[in-house]
Amino acid sequence: MKPVIAIIGGLGEMGRWFSRFFREQGYEVLIGEPGLTPTSAEVAAQAEVVVISVPLHLTEQVIAELAPAIRPEALLTDLTSLKQGPMQAMLKHFGGAVVGTHPLFGPGEASLAGQNVVLCRGRGEEWFQWLHDVLVAGGANVQITTPEEHDRLMSLVQGLTHFTLISLGTTFRRLQADIAAMETLATPTFRAVYDQVRHLVNQNFPLYAHIQLLNPQNRLTHAAFAEAVEQLRQIVASGDAAALMQILEDNQRYFEQWPNSSPVGQANPSSPSKR
């Protein structure tokens, strides 16, 4: 028999997304949401799988509050963008099966097909395998890692990418850039980056803020980026062509260690005039 699934925060964007997904896979899904009845604890108590899908900065608190209501034989999992804190909270407050989940996409996606989803083993191999198989059946690329490795890599993948896009948005604002005029002179490379700047300014601010604030690894990452920016700024300001060429060559040599799996190839439009 298929387990009953409770999604706590089930009216949020990702909560609704996963409610639809599980229902399409034939599961009964119960929704818990703060302020509604039945309460989240009542909903959690009725389920064999409890999925925490509340705002990142509230996740650990909600886990601590709900854990006593969850059946001992149930699976407790979350959909949070960081994994160390939520996993520790789930393992500490709940004695049963625990898996950490991070869907690496947003609620604008039509389906799970081809999307990356991270799973971290907590406790209980059977439930881990069940969740893994449900996601794979939905077409996900399931990536298994540890909470530590996840958060370390996410500091580069999400933390630094968002940090950069926010900084670009701030720069355009501070310089009172004429966005419409810039768009008329867009290159393909600018368009690719600018589209992401623009996309991010309309996203879920608390989530994006806490992806920055709650990952301790970000301090090291941000410091390295700020140093790279300041060094490059000084090199350009002083007109040091040799130092600039050296950076370009060092970066090229670094990336040559990995074959380019990017879809961007020879026919990519992303370069300016070449001479």
Does 190 help bind a second copy (rule: CB under 8 A)? Answer: yes
CB of 130 to a second copy, least distance (A): 20
Kindly indicate which of the ranges 20-28, 35-43, 65-73, 76-84 contains the residues binding a second copy, using the contact rule CB under 8 A: 76-84
Does 41 help bind a second copy (rule: CB under 8 A)? Answer: no
Cα separation, 107 vs 18, whole angstroms: 9
Binding mask 246-275 for a second copy (x = CB under 8 A): -xxxxxx-xx-xx-xxxxx-xxxxxxxxxx
Does 35 help bind a second copy (rule: CB under 8 A)? Answer: no
Number of residues that bind a second copy (CB under 8 A): 131
Segment (H or E) for 230 = helix 218-237
Does 88 help bind a second copy (rule: CB under 8 A)? Answer: no
User: Residue 71 burial (CB < 10 Å; 0-12/13-18/19+)?
Assistant: middle
A 10 A CB-CB count for 200 gives 17
CB of 102 to a second copy, least distance (A): 7
Cα separation, 91 vs 270, whole angstroms: 46
DSSP secondary structure letters along 74-91: SEEEE--S--HHHHHHHH
Query: Which of 100, 92, 86, 94 is closest to 128 using CA atoms?
Result: 100
Binding mask 123-152 for a second copy (x = CB under 8 A): --------------------x-x---xx--
Does 64 help bind a second copy (rule: CB under 8 A)? Answer: no
Which residues in 218-237 contact a second copy (CB under 8 A)?
218-233, 236-237
